[in-house]
Amino acid sequence: MTTPRNFCGRTRREMLWQAGAGFTGLGLTALLDQDGFLNGQTVAADGQTEWSNPLAPKQPHFPAKAKNIIFFYCYGGPSHIDTFDYKPDMYGMDGKTVEVKTFGRGGHKNVGRIVEPRWKFNQYGECGKWVSDLFPNLATCVDDIAFLHSMTADSPIHGSAMLMMNSGRVLSGHPCLGSWVNYGLGSVNQDLPGFVVMLDPRGGPISGSKNWSSGYMPATYQATVMRSKGDPILDLSPPAALAGGGQRRLLDTLRDYNRDHQQLRSDNSNLAARIASYELAYRMQSEAPEAVDISQETQATQDLYGLNDPKCSSVGRQCLLARRLVERGVRMVQIYSGGAHNDDNWDAHGDLENNHNLHAGETDKPLAGLLKDLKQRNMLDDTLIVWGGEFGRQPTAEYAKGSGRDHNSYGFTMWMAGGGIKGGTSVGTTDELGSRAVDDTFHVKHLHATILHQMGMDPNKLSYFFGGLDNRLVGVEGASPIWSVIS
Amino acid sequence: MSRTPAFPPAFQTAPPKASPRASLSLAVVAVPALLAVTAMLPACSADESARHDFTKQQITMFREQVLPILEDNCLKCHSGEHPKGELNMTTREGFLKGGESGPAVDLENHEDSYVINAVRYEGLDMPPSGPLSPQNVKIIESWVQQGLPWPADLHEIEFEAEAGPPQVTAENRQFWSFQPVRDVAVPDVENAGHNAIDAFIRHRLSDRGLTVSPPAAPEELVRRMHYDLLGLPPSPEFVAAWSKKIDAGGTLDQQAVAALTDELLASPHYGEQWGRHWLDLVRYAETNSYERDGAKPHVWRYRDYVIDAFNSDKPYSQFIIEQLAGDELDEVTADSMVATGFYRLGRWDDEPADPALAFYDDIDDIVTTTSQTFLGLTVNCARCHDHKIDPIPQRDYYRMVAFFRNVRRYGVRGHDSVLDASVAEIDRPADAKVYEAAMTRYNNDTRDAKDRMAKIEKLVWDDLQEVEKEDFQYDMNKLPILQKRVGTLLNDRQFNNFRNQFNRLKQLQSKKPTGLASALCVKEDIRGNKPTHILTRGNPHAAAEEVTPGFPAILSPPKPVIPQPADGAKTSGRRRVLAEWIASGDNPLTARVMVNRIWQFHFGRGIVRTSSDFGFQGTKPTHPKLLDWLAAEFVKSGWSVKAMHRLIMSSAAYQMSSRPSEQAWAVDPTNNLFWRFDMRRLSAEEVRDTILWVNNTLNSEKMYGPSIYTDIPDAVKAGQSRPGSGWGRSSPEDETRRSIYIHVKRSLLDPLIESFDFADTDQTCPVRFVTTQPTQALSMMNSEFILQQAEKFAAYVATEQTDGAAQVQFALARAMQRQPTNTEIQRGLDLIASLKENDGMNHQDALKYLCLVALNLNELMYLD
């Protein structure tokens, strides 16, 4: 009995393609196809031009529980002990000085002044989960949610910590989760991007596009920023002068020129691909606006997401769009709650109450609406929801005065729902102050491993060759999924 | 990778090193049961395997469920001659006999089996990368409970274990690229072509029964050469004039080819095109990434240095030495200092969570870039452990680190720390008096602005929260924080006053008198004689053995002679030792790697396709003898890059047609043998420069200097945390300069440049991707940029031609750099007519959209 093992889990030709070895034309396409690498030959939208697409759907490693991901990213770092990680012993301790090791933007400290959690907690659902008053609506969904209370990350500084949450590394230049998913699985809808990011109207996160970059992978796998108002995708709308069918005639003329050019160069598939790409773009022009047209939704649905409430209508709209996009096959949608700087996001260094009332208030109803809507449409089973930020916050005050908390990557909470995740569970614990994870400690790579696993991929096998190394989202040493939250 | 041979059973079960096991058994005297099992193991093991008769279902379970788990999770370590913990899991006996911790399976008391303990993560946590899924744990449990069912005909699971890392051995030293460049004879071939290159290529083609493609049409060749050396299109007139210089066979005359090559090589735009190739390799970018993504001061001087180096045909050996050790030369020049900007082009995390790790991450960036770019070796893969594929031990990685050990980090935090660690004055002012007067004025003005601001700051300071006080130290936060107090502590007039002074200060600082030219460059800190240690698993907090500077042993290098720094020396002199070894004609890799890159940028791929990896996992050269011959020529020419261009471009191979040949394609579809010239798409910069050239707005005259800003749409800037931050506005004549001068901001790239596969900005990029995506089509059809360019194109066409057909002809010729056919002209006229008729456009608007079509032609985008 032998175990066939090709080099590092992929074919040599695929490796060469990844190394950008300069293959041109149909030659490489043909070879890769023999290896089953480009196993989705697509015929372009004009129905004639053959086209092989790096985003064509690919088979997962094993049957997937989830088909799509919606990652609700709370930029800035929400406080776990004020939201989902209940610390009853802290009540009545406000202002007391305790010895506790912390590390945030203010550096390493050994002592601090306790800031008592500013919200009351109540129990919800059959599972009896304690949730703070920040999330009264979401609290009604706890039986569908698995809470990870013992998350840890390598950095308590926004820049590197966000790169870690998005790309698994604190170093700039690595592909993010959505790129990995599209690289591994392709996209089932060629008329829409496979990976979409929606930003907070107040601004992008720090480091901007580095957070959704494909790093050393081709640009094919990077995210497309989609706006919930106006032109949803950059350069989507043709000029008004061509609206009356002029664009079609223009594209037909272009195709005629390009076909003539191609005739003497018939073996060059890149030429055909480029012809086809114009037809795809043309289709995208009509598909994308349809996808974001929420007037097609009933009033009841819109209300469910809180569109009737000015406080949360913006996030509500994004959550509703996210559902419409995954419905149409977009693999991953990432929504940023919070943008820009300071209290425009969850980074509550100053006034904790104002900050978290604002951001939780904006997101509570839309998130609950999203979970309920997916559930009523039987979409929750194959849509994986992930919630959290790049880290949590400290139990103690950052400054001599005030309730602001500094960053905490020693222990924080994230949650997942749908996509084969076991609802009504909570795993891992932090100490009695929530200062650090103490039991069943998980790292960002375990979260990533869980996401990839639910999408049908073995996190230790999904690799991409670059710079002489087999790179993986979960790192060279590998990581197992968090089995205890997988149903 | 070697296969573990199936050893005879006797050998397989021979007791390995009995003593550790014995002592371990004694150590667990508190558990007599275990001792007893260990003691009776040999007899039991033999009995068990003979006695058991497993059912068909049990054997199926083993094959379909247990075996994949073992293969995926266990056998990598627990197989072969020296399994980890001395536990061999490829045989049933192996499980029963166990390893250092005793038998892996206890057939009497299943629950006591340490295999079960391990997979449950109840102490002996295995596999180490993380627990198996609960289903798989159950499978293992059930397998043990059923008495370890195992097929009778399977003595041992054959497992292709990953061989240990290759060693530095005499045999491995024989690998082609580790050997000195060979002196090769040019083969004798019939129909020898133009020069030795053709002899090598035709020799291999005839071996496979193939012949070369015919020469390219003169127009195609002129266009190919022009783009190749300058990155710009030739004018249709230029093409027409040169294409007349043909020989009897109708192909471009060889004297004309040589003259054209010389003319192009003399153009200053040559350095812009080939300098950009180099910038890809050295991860050139002008900002630091991370939260602030701040601009690198004076970084553009490095870019200009590279352009000049190519234009002046600086010997490549000198080019290497200046970049790696320009500050350690006998004669340090402004140029050689600027060259050391090489060290400063990478990312910089200005608030790392682990400063020690960040220090070594930065050194790793230098080791990676240096070893891959100059040597084609992935030494970086040996940071945490011995290189898995190449014979590069971890020790060699840290010996290379030792050359860079004293290089200061780019900065500590903040702009001043960068000036301190990475910026030096390189030149005296031309006129000291003028400069001093300007500086006095500058200092007075800035002080005045600061004073006026301070007065207003004072009004609100006590009201600021602690967090705001901290934020206030960054300029970007000042206005928003003050604005919050308008109406309470400040009135509108005061706030506007502050804003005016704030902007005035920015304006002043951006035009600080440049009396002393400064450069971004390397600096060392040689106080304290810092040792270099091997870091266990790459962990900076786990220092192991100390090492001294050394070259990779597999290359059989000389022992480096490290100088003792003189008193008062600013640097250790180590980098010069490394640089001189790399730049030596005796180095087996340097000339091969560079000549292969030159070949790659001419032909679209290297003779070694993996042009930054000449190790075991790289591709073998398709023409090893040709590569060695070229490498030798390169060194003989005095490392002249331009000599290589002349040599390569004068070959018939370079001048071949790119048209397909069914016969050759059937034999060699990837053109491994160079039976034709491969087509290529324009690079990102070429796409933009061509668009601007075609519509006659390209400002190619202005070269060098600080980078420019293109007009990035607000929708793209909206992705920044402060939309527009770090991106300025250039004057119209600057905005139309060549793309190499566009500011390279790591977190915000010009969308057109990015979409056409600009080089990765964070890591060395030897080969760019060529992707084809619908988003490219969207931006080439609908973007504000392209529509503006189409409009300018149409305006240009209208000034040159008035007649409709002449306009179409002119526009297409500009885009394709050849005269269009009548059919092509008619097709354009038809479009114009249809747009007028159906869309109610006037002539100029219709012409604009014809121009838009022209800018989108595949013929514009692809070179033959």
- Which of A254, A448, A484 best probes binding to B when mutated, by most B CB atoms within 10 angstroms? A254
Band of the pLDDT at A14, cuts 50, 70, 90? low
Q: Does the beta-carbon distance from A273 to B619 stay under 8 Å? A: no
Q: How far is CA A120 from CA A132, B846, B851, in A?
A: 5, 67, 66
* CB-based contact B395:B547 (threshold 8 Å): yes
Encoded tokens for A100: 């506790």
Contact A280 B777 (CB under 8 A): yes
* Average pLDDT over every residue of A322-333: 97
Residue B348 has pLDDT above 50, yes or no: yes
- A403: contact with B, CB 8 A cutoff: no
A82 touching B (Cβ < 8 Å): no
pLDDT at B17: 37
- Going by pLDDT thresholds of 50, 70 and 90, the confidence category of residue B197 is very high
The residue written with tokens 């949450």 in the block is A165
Are the beta carbons of A182 and A55 closer than 8 angstroms?
yes
**CA angle B48-B50-B53, nearest 5°?**
85
pLDDT of residue B697: 98
Q: How far is A224 from chain B (nearest CA, A)?
A: 9
Identify the H or E element spanning B218: helix B218-230
Strand partners, A486: A421
What pLDDT does B3 receive?
38
Which of A6, A105, A171 to probe by mutation at the B interface, max B CB count within 10 Å? A171
Tell which of A1, A162, A257, A425 to mutate to test the B interface (max B CBs under 10 Å). Answer: A257
**Is some CB atom of chain B closer than 8 A to the CB atom of A220?**
yes
> How much is the average pLDDT of A276-302?
94
B468 to chain A, any CB pair closer than 8 A? The answer is yes
Residues of chain A positioned with their CB less than 8 A from the CB of B475 = none
In this complex, do A257 and B857 lie within 8 Å of one another by their Cβ atoms? yes
Interface residue B853 vs chain A (CB under 8 A): yes
Q: CB of A225 within 8 Å of any CB in chain B? A: yes
Residue B218 backbone zone (phi > 0: left; psi -120 to 50: alpha; other: beta): alpha
Contact B774 A469 (CB under 8 A): no
Residue B862 has pLDDT above 70, yes or no: yes
Which among B134, B372, B827 is the nearest to A256, CB-wise? Answer: B827
Q: Which of residues 144-163 of A touch B (CB under 8 A)?
A: 154-161
B158:A239 CB<8 A: no
User: Could you tell me if B529 lies within 8 Å of chain A, comparing CB atoms?
Assistant: no
Out of B159, B351, B660, whose CB is closest to A265? B660
Q: How many Cβ pairs closer than 8 A exist between chain A and B?
A: 344
**Would you call B745 helix, strand, or coil by DSSP?**
strand
Q: What are B624-673's pLDDT values in tens digits?
A: 999 999 999 999 999 999 999 999 999 999 999 999 888 898 888 889 99
Closest approach of chain B CAs to the CA of A142, in angstroms?
A: 24
Instruction: Yes or no: say if B170 and B81 are a contact pair by the CB < 8 Å rule.
Output: no
Tell me the pLDDT band of B506, cut-offs 50, 70 and 90: confident
CB pair distance less than 8 Å for A24 and B766: no
Of A19, A231, A246, nearest to B838 by CB-CB distance is: A246
- Neighbouring residues of B397: CB distance < 8 A, sequence distance ≥ 6: B367, B379, B380, B382, B383
> What are the backbone dihedrals phi and psi of residue B451, each rounded to the nearest 5 degrees, phi first?
-60, -45
Contact A342 B471 (CB under 8 A): yes
Mean pLDDT across chain B, nearest whole number? 90
Task: List all residues of chain B from 766 to 805 with a beta carbon under 8 Å from chain A.
Answer: 766-779, 781-783, 787
Chain B residues 586-605 within an 8 A CB cutoff of chain A: 600, 604-605
pLDDT at A58: 83
Question: Taking Cα atoms as reference points, which of B294, B299, B348, B724 lies closest to residue B474?
Answer: B294
Contact at CB, B290 and A170, closer than 8 angstroms = no
Q: Which residue of A has its CA nearest to B358?
A: A171
Residue A223 predicted with pLDDT over 60: yes
Q: pLDDT tens digits, residue range A465-486?
A: 888 888 999 998 899 999 999 9
Residue B293 neighbours by CB under 8 Å, 6+ apart: A207, A208, B287, B726, B745, B746, B747, B748
B719 part of contact set with chain A, CB < 8 Å:
yes
Task: Answer yes or no: do B157 and A159 touch at CB < 8 A.
Answer: no
- Rounded to the nearest angstrom, the minimum Cα separation between B218 and chain A is 16
pLDDT band at A323 (very low <50, low <70, confident <90, very high): very high
Cβ of B160 and A3 within 8 Å? yes
Taking CA atoms, what residue in A is nearest to B465? A350
**What percentage of chain B reaches a pLDDT higher than 70?**
93
A409 shares contact with chain B (CB less than 8 Å): yes
Taking only the tens place, the pLDDT of each residue in A181-209 is: 999 998 888 889 999 999 999 999 999 99
Among the listed residues A384, B91, A176, the one whose alpha carbon sits nearest the alpha carbon of residue B83? B91
The residue of chain B with its CA nearest to that of A51 is B772
Closest chain B residue by Cα to residue A350: B467
Listed range (A23-37, A435-449, B55-69, B387-401) with the worst mean pLDDT = A23-37
Least confident range from B133-137, B181-185, B461-465, B739-743: namely: B461-465
CA B420 → CA B415, B521, B530, distances in Å? 9, 11, 20
Q: What structural domains and CATH numbers belong to chain A?
A: 68-232+292-485 (3.40.720.10)
CB contact under 8 A, B782 and A254: no
The answer to whether A241 contacts B748, with C-beta atoms less than 8 Å apart, is: no
Residue A172 and residue B783: Cβ atoms within 8 Å? no
CA atoms A224, A225, A227, A230: torsion sign: negative
Please name the amino acid found at residue B569: A
Disruptive mutation site among A274, A336, A344 for chain B (greatest number of B CBs within 10 Å): A274
Task: Report the pLDDT value the prediction gives residue B4, as an integer from 0 to 100.
Answer: 37
Structure tokens at A9: 């889990």
pLDDT at B452 > cutoff 50: yes
Q: In angstroms, what is the C-alpha Rg of chain A?
A: 24
Residue A39 in this model has a pLDDT that exceeds 70: no
Please, how many CA atoms are within 13 Å of residue A187, restricted to the half-sphere of its CB? 29
Q: What part of B 160-199 touches A (C-beta under 8 Å)?
A: 160
Q: CA of B129, closest CA in chain A: separation in Å?
A: 5
Give the span between the Cα atoms of B720 and B655, in whole angstroms. Answer: 47
CB contact under 8 Å between B721 and A281, yes or no, is: no
Residue A238: list chain B partners with CB under 8 A. Answer: 781-782
Q: Determine the distance in angstroms separating the CA of A132 from the nearest CA of chain B, rounded to an integer.
A: 26
Q: Which residue of B131, B723, B827 is in closest CB contact with A483?
A: B131
Chain A positions in Cβ-Cβ contact with residue B468 (cut-off 8 Å) = 350
Q: Tell me: the pLDDT tens digits for B14-63?
A: 333 333 333 333 333 333 333 333 333 333 444 444 456 899 999 999 99
In chain B, positions 328-367, which contact chain A (CB-CB < 8 Å)? 347, 349, 351-354, 361
Say which amino acid occupies A75.
Y
Partner residue opposite B600 with nearest CB, options A22, A242, A481: A22
What is the per-residue burial (b if ≥16 Cβ within 10 Å, else e) of A282-296?
Answer: bbbbebbeebbebee
Token pair of B818 as six digits? 């050849």
pLDDT at res. A8: 37
In 3D, which of B163, B292, B175 has the Cα closest to residue B746? B292
Q: What is the ipTM of this complex?
A: 0.88
Asked if A227 has any chain B CB less than 8 Å from its own CB, the reply is yes
Q: Which residues of A touch B617 (CB under 8 A)?
A: 7, 468
Q: Which amino acid is at A380?
A: L
Q: In this predicted structure, what is the pLDDT of residue B588?
A: 98
Q: What would the pLDDT profile of B151-169 be if each residue is shown by its tens digit? A: 988 889 988 766 778 999 9
Higher pLDDT: B48 or A62? It is: A62
- Search chain A and give the residue with CA nearest B383: A469
For the ranges A7-21, A140-154, A207-221, A408-422, the lowest mean pLDDT is seen at A7-21
Query: Could you give the 3-state DSSP secondary structure of residue B124?
Result: coil
Closest CB to A245: pick one of B67, B779, B838: B838
